[in-house]
Amino acid sequence: MARRAHVYPQVEPGAGATIDARVATLPAAASVAAALRVARKRDVGVLDVGMRGHVVLRADLARADALGLADLRAADLARPVPVVDAGASEVRVRRAMAAGAPIVLVVGRRGPIGAAMRPPALVSTPAMASAFVRRLPERMVHVTTLAAALAARQHAAAYVVGGVARDLFREARSETGDLDIVIEGDGHRLAREIAETLGAPLVLHDRFLTASVDVPGVGTVDVITARSERYEHRGALPRVMPAGIQQDLERRDFTINAMAIELTSDDRPLLDPYGGRADLERERIRILHPLSFVDDPTRMFRAARYAARLGFVLDTWTARCRRLALSLVPYPALSGPRIVAEVERILDDARPDDALSRLGRAGVFRLLDPDYRFTQETAHRVAQLAESLRWGASLGLAAAPVELALLVLLAEQPAATARRALARLGFSGEPSTRVERALDAGRTLPAALAAARTPSRRAALLRGRSAAEVAWVGLVGGAAARRAVEEFQTRTGAIASELRGEDVIALGVPRGPAVAQALAALRDARIDGEVPDRAGEAGYVRRWFITREEG
């Protein structure tokens, strides 16, 4: 007779059993230096500063100390973490970690009793192989397949990261024409082999262990040696070192960009160690650590650009960390051209007005000058920027979009603030003079254009000015100035006389300054419709010369 199988009771260890890190408690006012001393003395990686659902990590304290922020309040580095009661199921802790939480705080009746730290391993999610075929252009699939095969020859793993990985998970066709590939091996070698195979141009960037291959039908393929980064000064470019994919993802700006799809695995799993999938679903932008914007303030511009493009918002903690970074203005190590490059990328996106408005409301333009203020009038002009750029382009005004954007941002600032901002951005010489002249023209020229009674007089006021000046006057000078600019660009600015210098000399005008004066008067007469043809021009010159001689 068979015996009934014995049923063993299921044991639920509870969240308390997941604790693997002690938590030290500090006063809310403790400095970074004091907190770091306590963390080292007690050998703890987690500190409680009395903010419910927030902790300070020792790693963040060390980062702040290395950046010269030892006197900062440790509480300013507090990050939100999931909080689980010690008696709850351990499944809650595991789920929180799988969603990207680096730590889960376990609490008892009297407060934190410990923390569960996520092991330093990548979180692998369902395979993305079918998504490649469905949502990537065929040419891009070909490049990724080639990269995987070439990486395998190095016995190295390769990954797609950045926008393509993000867009694939969003179940959308890639919004970018560029492709980022990270290899845990020799990125330059992989880039050379891709370029040779496809017959494409190659550019190597030794300092950052990257290379760019311009592939027809795909765009720029950036090949990156997996690397870690260390910021030695606030806002400075980082020092980079070869590393693994884990370290490469943890150096990135936002969780939604810290995902990677492994190419050298047949099922192509999505690696998501920081909860990028969850943030995509919640439509939020979230940084990876509290000093992310201090390390690299240009991330504030990228955050606004992604938020505008995707319709996302910064999560509350990320916005708080941005305020912390802005409280540390200025950033001497942050070069002006890096800021200009970010503004240009925003202008190339579909919603520059949205992104720049977000930056203005958040106070980010204080990076240009600490005295910068984003006024209501500036906000109004920013909202009209995209339409203004289209208007200028339709008239053939070759003004650089970034210069028009700077005019929008600086027009309401005191002259000294505007000059300092331009210098901060690296504008000097002719570019700086051009923007300053445009600002001045916007204040003085509209009234003169409105008072001008003839097309020739309006054309004379605009002639010889830069495209930035002409565009700016049309944008800010009201209806009369706008009509004058349109008249000048579409008709009067191109009108010239048929007669030339030798022709007017033959009509009796003596050589010298009088020739230029005669031609200028003749051009104005043509603009105002007083002279219909070449014969009329000759008669006009004779009358002009007689009047001049008699006068």
How many domains is the chain partitioned into structurally? 5
Question: Which amino acid belongs to residue 324?
Answer: L
Residue by residue, DSSP assigns 419-481 as HHHHHHTT--HHHHHHHHHHHHHHHHHHHHHHH--SHHHHHHHHTT--HHHHHHHHHHSHHHH
- Domain end, chosen from 282, 308, 323, is at 282
- Domain end, chosen from 258, 282, 306, is at 282
Statement to judge: residues 289 and 278 lie in one domain? no
Question: Which amino acid belongs to residue 453?
Answer: R
CA-based nearest residue to 317, from 279, 369, 351: 279
For residue 203, give Cα distances in angstroms to 139, 179, 215: 21, 15, 12
- Torsions phi, psi for 227 (to 5 deg): -150, 160
Helices 376-383 & 385-394 angle (0-180, nearest 10) = 50
User: Rounded CA gap, 37 and 24, in Å?
Assistant: 11
- Domain end, chosen from 245, 265, 282, is at 282
Q: Give 126-169 pLDDT, tens digit per residue.
A: 677 677 777 788 888 899 999 999 999 999 999 999 888 888 87
Domain annotation covers residue 7 = no
Statement to judge: residues 48 and 109 lie in one domain? yes
Helix (H) or strand (E) holding 409: helix 401-410
For residue 172, give Cα distances in angstroms to 20, 375, 477: 40, 37, 43
CB 215 within 8 A of CB 221: yes
Place of tokens 């002259």: 415
Statement to judge: residues 58 and 68 lie in one domain? yes
For the cut 80, the answer to whether the pLDDT of residue 284 exceeds it is: yes
CA-based nearest residue to 501, from 514, 492, 488, 490: 514
User: Rounded CA gap, 34 and 29, in Å?
Assistant: 10
Domain annotation covers residue 1 = no
Residue 95: its pLDDT value, please? 85
pTM score, whole prediction: 0.90
Residue 5: its pLDDT value, please? 59
pLDDT bracket for residue 114 (50, 70, 90): confident
Least confidently predicted of 39-43, 210-214, 261-265, 478-482: 261-265
Statement to judge: residues 385 and 425 lie in one domain? yes
Statement to judge: residues 131 and 108 lie in one domain? no
What CATH number does the domain containing 263 carry? 3.30.460.10
User: Rounded CA gap, 501 and 227, in Å?
Assistant: 66
Statement to judge: residues 483 and 514 lie in one domain? no
Question: Which amino acid belongs to residue 45?
Answer: G
For residue 321, give Cα distances in angstroms to 153, 286, 295, 315, 328: 43, 10, 12, 10, 11
Domain carrying residue 160: 124-282
For residue 187, give Cα distances in angstroms to 149, 150, 166, 225: 14, 11, 22, 4
Q: Give 232-258 pLDDT, tens digit per residue.
A: 999 999 999 999 999 999 999 999 999
For residue 241, give Cα distances in angstroms to 244, 296, 466: 10, 17, 46
Statement to judge: residues 333 and 189 lie in one domain? no
Residue 77: its pLDDT value, please? 97
Statement to judge: residues 267 and 289 lie in one domain? no
Statement to judge: residues 263 and 236 lie in one domain? yes
Domain annotation covers residue 539 = yes
Residue 7: its pLDDT value, please? 56
Residue 201: its pLDDT value, please? 95
For the cut 70, the answer to whether the pLDDT of residue 2 exceeds it is: no
Q: Please compute the mean of the pLDDT values over residues 286-299 and round it to a whole number.
A: 97
For the cut 80, the answer to whether the pLDDT of residue 4 exceeds it is: no
Statement to judge: residues 471 and 332 lie in one domain? no
What CATH number does the domain containing 344 carry? 1.10.110.30
Residue by residue, DSSP assigns 134-147 as HHS-HHHHHHHHHH
User: Rounded CA gap, 191 and 198, in Å?
Assistant: 11
Residues in the chain: 551
Residue 9: its pLDDT value, please? 56
Residue 11: its pLDDT value, please? 53
Domain annotation covers residue 480 = yes
| Residue 549 burial by Cβ neighbours in a 10 Å radius (0-12, 13-18, 19+) | exposed
Question: Which amino acid belongs to residue 26?
Answer: L
CB 194 within 8 A of CB 214: no
CB 207 within 8 A of CB 238: no
pLDDT bracket for residue 171 (50, 70, 90): low
DSSP 206: T
Beta strands in 103-244, from DSSP E residues, in sequence order: 103-108, 111-117, 124-127, 158-161, 179-183, 202-205, 210-215, 219-225, 227-230, 239-242
What CATH number does the domain containing 100 carry? 3.10.580.10
User: Rounded CA gap, 423 and 411, in Å?
Assistant: 15
Statement to judge: residues 402 and 521 lie in one domain? no
Least confidently predicted of 89-98, 127-136, 356-365, 527-536: 127-136
The token pair at 371 is: 């005295």
Statement to judge: residues 157 and 278 lie in one domain? yes
Q: Give 365-377 pLDDT, tens digit per residue.
A: 999 999 999 999 9
User: Strand pairing of 284-285 and 313-314?
Assistant: parallel
Domain annotation covers residue 163 = yes
Residue 176: its pLDDT value, please? 52
Helix (H) or strand (E) holding 512: none
Q: Please compute the mean of the pLDDT values over residues 12-23 and round it to a whole number.
A: 83
Burial 156-191 (b: 16+ CB within 10 A, else e): bbbbbbbbbbbbbbbeeebeeebbbbbbbbbbbbbb
Domain annotation covers residue 3 = no
Domain annotation covers residue 344 = yes
Domain annotation covers residue 4 = no
Q: Give 29-87 pLDDT, tens digit per residue.
A: 999 999 999 999 999 999 998 888 899 999 999 999 999 999 999 999 999 999 999 88
